[in-house]
Every structure is written in structure tokens, then in C-alpha cells.
Amino acid sequence: MCGRFTLIHSVEALVEAFEIEEVLFTPSPSYNIPPGQVVPAVVCEGGVRKLVGLKWGLVPAWAEDPKIGNRMINARAETVASKPAFRDAFRKRRCIVPASGFYEWKRENSGKEPYYFYRPDGKPLGMAGIHERWVSPEGDELHTCAIITVDSLPPVSEVHGRMPLLLDGEELSLYLDPEAPLPRVARLLSSFTPPPLSCHRVSRAVNSPAVDAPVCIERV
């Protein structure tokens, strides 16, 4: 799963990396983003790429209780196109969640140890996601998202069995395009070329969402 990530790149860096044309949400730098927070996401609407804010934890439009989002932080690539909670969003409301890096935990003799994954070239990662709009009986809107996960590839597979679906370049553009043929988009779920990743072990300080500081990504 993907349950924690960082975003320390500037908005200007995100605009350049993801060819964003409209900035509707300005995120604050964070070294430890947990589920439930409003996170930045790139969406394509009317042919325009926009940076918006979405609460991490997807609430389907048909949900009676928005608390369902607490357990909908990830959508498995194997079922995102067919599972009732996700399939409509996958067809119509895809997004990219930018990240500077993400954490995964490895079971070791001393317990679960956190590792930090990031691009060695310093560029932001693009995590494939889906998003939804939920409206309460009172008319209040809630915009939410989930991050798609896949079976891990090296080097993540040495630490954990799942990782975010990471897209770049033409694959990222295809995924964001709402007019793209769905079969082509669906193929990305099992056939994609992730960017190179570096990793190192970090402090268990990251285990606490209350800790949001550079110590979270420092090598130990």
C-alpha cells in the first residue's frame, strides 16, 4: 500500500514537471503526509491541466457516510477498473498525485523499519490516482482521491510488496487524458515504465504523523 508520502517541491517545480496551466491549490511543504489530509492533484478538465486539492481517502458519490474514505486511501490496479467503489472514477476522473517521495515499511528482526523512495534526479514523482465528488444531504461538497497501487518492482520489492503506480512522460499524459480510449489506459495498470528510484532507511520518527520535519527523510 501507499500510506505516507512527502511533497517538498515548490509549486513552480510542479507546474514545470507536470505542465500545469492553472493552480487552484497551493500545498504547503510536508515531509510526512498521512491519509485524511488535503493533497495536491493534477487533473485534466477541458484540455487544461489544473492543480487542485483533494482529501486523501476516496468517498464514492453513492456513499451514505463519508467516513468510508478512511479505508479507501488506495485502489489496487488489479481491481480499480471493476470494483464498484472505484470503476466510475477510473473511467471518468483520473488524476496524478505529485510527490517528492514515499515511504514503505520492511519487516525486520527489530520490527518494522521505514524506507524512503525518491527519484535520484530530484524530480517529483507522479502517482496515479482517481478522484470523486461527494455531496452531503445538506449540499456540502467533498472532493476526495485514492492512490492506485501495483505489485512492487525493484527497489521497492526488496522492502514491501506494493507500491504506487508511478507514471511519467507519455504514459502520464495518456493516463490524464479524459478522451483516451479506456483499454489503452487500462493497459498502463499492468504495463508501465516507472522512473528510476533511489531509497534509504529513515528514522522511525516518520511512524508518527505528528512529526513533519526534515528528520523524516534523513538517512540512518
Confidence (pLDDT) at 53:
99
DSSP code for 198: E
Q: Considering 2, 44, 95, 216, which one is annotated as catalytic?
A: 2
Is pLDDT above 80 for 157? Answer: yes
Confidence (pLDDT) at 1:
72
**Rounded alpha-carbon distances, angstroms, from residue 31 to 145, 172, 216:** 20, 24, 6
> Cis omega (within 30 of 0) on the bond before 40?
no
Domain housing 77? 5-217
Quote the number of domains for the chain: 1
> Residue 148 has which C-alpha cell?
492506485
Give me the CATH number covering residue 140.
Answer: 3.90.1680.10
Pairing of strands 5-7, 101-108: antiparallel
Pairing of strands 125-135, 94-99: antiparallel
Q: Considering 44, 95, 104, 145, which one is annotated as catalytic?
A: 104
Task: Tell me whether residue 104 is one of the annotated catalytic residues.
Answer: yes
Q: What is the pTM of this model?
A: 0.97
Task: Tell me whether residue 2 is one of the annotated catalytic residues.
Answer: yes
